[in-house]
């Protein structure tokens, strides 16, 4: 918002279709970023029908304290103001004539007196949950206590102990070991066998009083009373204390159709009476990184760009990301890598299309982490791959691979190819030709891309976040 320096009351306004319903303890919260501190923001509520003669001003409870930095302000309202107003006027530094520019975000009405917070403050209620074997997605939208079996560990359905950008769900599961055995656990039975594929994963968010341990999921066959079982430890140990993080458990098609029970061990083999919280246990059949409901994104392509539904695997070249076809399968161990359909960040030069694929690779992520797409039919590996790539980082190396999904054990694949994106924040055309295709190759149908993965860096982690955009992936 930029004031015109015409009047002390320069403002912007928002009309609503209905009257505002307010309660005692209600608040508005809003984040602001501005070139000065020491002023208050004022929200004026008005009745449109009276042209503002019925109105009331609500200044922020505190003045701003930061310069060129985000902070959150609160505006207190009450039930006495309910059902009267259907218009909001926003004044930045009311009564002081100026031409300043102000930024604001996350204007929110909190009927319960919450503190708002937008992207990470107040909790976000979940909208979906599944405890069916084919689509496990335990988000704690509803209390699952009736489905939880306690084996020297107690389960409780509780409020999130630490809302954060990783997990701002309202409700989570709480597990307290009884300090009876190193294998204190909780269990969930399913009506059907779990169907798994190569590349399948479970992902789960955990919050606990210590770090350095692994969570173990044990899959069992109920009919055999656990005699047929297999343990799946998390791929990495926890690294955080009293903070949410997401763990991954790798599965495969060889484990499909066998198990109908999950046993949860927190810090298996170490006797303790610790309390652990968990959330967003999700079965990802495409090898994605989960993300659950109210927490961080993960993979899966999402909804966005020109797609009005859920993203799906691309089926053929060219892939232009103007619809819901996308690259939704991602892989990593440490850190995170996500893909999503998004708006073109710079509709200029060689790429003026509306929508593209956005890839975010977090700091601390495996250099070998990437994304991929298995096409339904083999493609001609001798042709030239062409990509339009936009990187927020200069001189980043992209690694490209092709293989088969599923992989024929007797078929060899060509080696990787690399391309350096020299310029940042501009679209670059990249061409890749795979050479040295083995004579025993029986065909390929999957394209793999690993951003920021120069040759010889597989054992490293990224030092900073990288954001990359891809478009118009062709095979010519």
CATH number among 3.50.50.60, 1.20.1370.20, 2.60.120.260, 1.20.140.10, domain 137-284: 2.60.120.260
Could you state, in order of their start, the residue ranges of all structural domains in the chain? 11-110, 137-284, 312-475
Output the CA–CA distances (angstroms, integers) from residue 240 to 39, 212, 227, 330, 460, in the order listed.
Answer: 38, 8, 34, 23, 20
Nearest to 202 by CA among 226, 219, 225, 221: 219
Count how many Cα atoms sit within 13 Å of the Cα of residue 365 in the half-sphere of its side chain.
Answer: 27
CB 334, CB 366: distance < 8 Å: yes
Beta partners for residue 342, in sequence order: 356
Q: Give the Cα separation of 201 and 192 in Å (integer).
A: 18
Tell me how many degrees the CA angle 262-263-265 measures, rounded to the nearest 5: 140
Please answer whether residues 362 and 335 qualify as being in contact, where contact means their C-beta atoms are separated by less than 8 angstroms.
yes
DSSP H or E run through 281: strand 275-284
Nearest one of 152, 365, 342 to 246, comparing CA atoms: 365
pLDDT digit string, tens, across residues 11-37: 999 999 989 888 877 888 888 888 888
- Note the pLDDT of residue 337: 93
Tens digit of each residue's pLDDT (9 = 90 or more) over 148-201: 999 999 999 999 988 876 888 899 999 999 999 999 999 999 999 998 888 889
Q: What is the pTM of this model?
A: 0.41
Q: How far apart are CA 49 and CA 53, in angstroms?
A: 9
Tokens of 263: 């046993």
Q: What is the per-residue pLDDT across 356-412, written as a single tens digit (0 to 9) for each?
A: 999 999 989 999 999 999 999 999 989 999 999 999 889 999 999 998 887 676 677
CA atoms within 13 A on the CB side of 253: 7
The pLDDT confidence band at residue 40, using thresholds 50, 70 and 90, is: confident
Give the residue among 155, 179, 172 at the shortest CA–CA distance from 274.
179
Q: Do domains 137-284 and 312-475 have the same CATH topology?
A: yes
Fold designation for 312-475: Jelly Rolls (2.60.120)
Contact by Cβ (8 Å): 363, 465: yes
Q: Which of 363, 358, 416 is closest to 390 using CA atoms?
A: 358
For tokens 């929508």, name the residue: 355
How do residues 69-91 score in pLDDT, each as one tens digit?
788 888 888 888 888 999 999 99
Question: Of 277, 251, 245, which is closest to residue 264 (Cα–Cα)?
Answer: 277
- Residue 301 confidence (pLDDT) above 60: no
223 contacts: CB under 8 Å, gap ≥ 6: none
The whole-number average pLDDT for the span 244-269 is 91
Residue 141 gets which letter from DSSP? S
């Amino acid at each position: 918002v930029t004031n015109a320096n015409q009047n002390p009351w320069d403002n912007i306004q928002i009309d609503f279709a209905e009257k505002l319903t307010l309660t005692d303890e209600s608040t508005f919260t809003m984040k602001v970023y501005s070139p000065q501190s020491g002023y208050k923001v004022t929200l004026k509520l008005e009745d449109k029908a009276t042209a503002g003669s019925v109105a009331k001003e609500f200044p922020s409870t505190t003045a701003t304290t930061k310069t060129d930095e985000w902070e959150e302000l609160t505006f207190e309202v009450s039930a006495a103001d309910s059902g009267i107003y259907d218009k909001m006027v926003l004044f930045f530094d009311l009564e002081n004539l100026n031409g300043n520019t102000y930024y604001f975000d996350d204007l929110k009405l909190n009927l319960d007196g919450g503190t708002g917070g937008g992207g990470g403050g107040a909790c976000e209620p979940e909208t979906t949950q599944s405890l069916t074997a084919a689509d496990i997605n335990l988000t704690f939208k509803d209390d699952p206590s009736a489905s939880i079996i306690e084996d020297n560990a107690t389960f409780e359905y509780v409020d999130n102990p630490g809302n954060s950008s990783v997990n701002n769900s309202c409700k989570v599961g709480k597990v307290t070991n009884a300090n009876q055995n190193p294998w204190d656990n909780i269990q969930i039975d399913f009506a059907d066998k779990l169907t798994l594929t190569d590349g399948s994963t479970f992902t789960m968010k955990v919050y606990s009083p210590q770090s350095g341990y692994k969570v173990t999921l044990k899959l069992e066959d109920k009919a055999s009373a656990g005699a047929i079982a297999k343990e799946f430890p998390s791929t990495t140990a926890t690294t955080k204390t009293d903070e949410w993080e997401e763990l991954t458990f790798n599965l495969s098609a060889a484990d499909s159709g066998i198990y109908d029970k999950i046993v949860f061990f927190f810090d298996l083999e170490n006797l303790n009476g610790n309390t652990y919280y968990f959330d967003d246990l999700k079965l990802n059949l495409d090898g994605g990184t989960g993300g659950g409901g109210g927490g961080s994104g993960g993979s899966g392509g999402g909804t966005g760009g020109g797609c009005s539904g859920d993203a799906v695997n691309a089926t053929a070249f060219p892939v232009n990301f103007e619809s819901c076809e996308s690259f939704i399968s991602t892989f990593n161990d440490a850190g995170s890598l996500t893909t999503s359909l998004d708006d073109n960040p710079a509709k200029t030069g060689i790429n003026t299309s509306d929508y593209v694929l956005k890839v975010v690779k977090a700091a601390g992520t495996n250099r070998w982490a990437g994304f991929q797409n298995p096409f339904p039919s083999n493609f001609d590996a001798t042709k030239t791959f062409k990509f339009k790539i936009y990187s927020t980082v200069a001189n980043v190396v992209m690694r490209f691979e092709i293989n088969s999904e599923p992989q024929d054990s007797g078929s060899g694949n060509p080696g990787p190819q690399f391309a350096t994106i020299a310029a940042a924040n501009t679209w670059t055309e990249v061409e890749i030709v795979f050479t040295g295709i083995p004579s025993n190759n029986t065909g390929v149908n999957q394209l793999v891309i690993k951003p920021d993965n120069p040759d010889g860096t597989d054992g490293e982690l990224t030092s900073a976040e990288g954001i990359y955009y891809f478009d118009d992936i062709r095979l010519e």
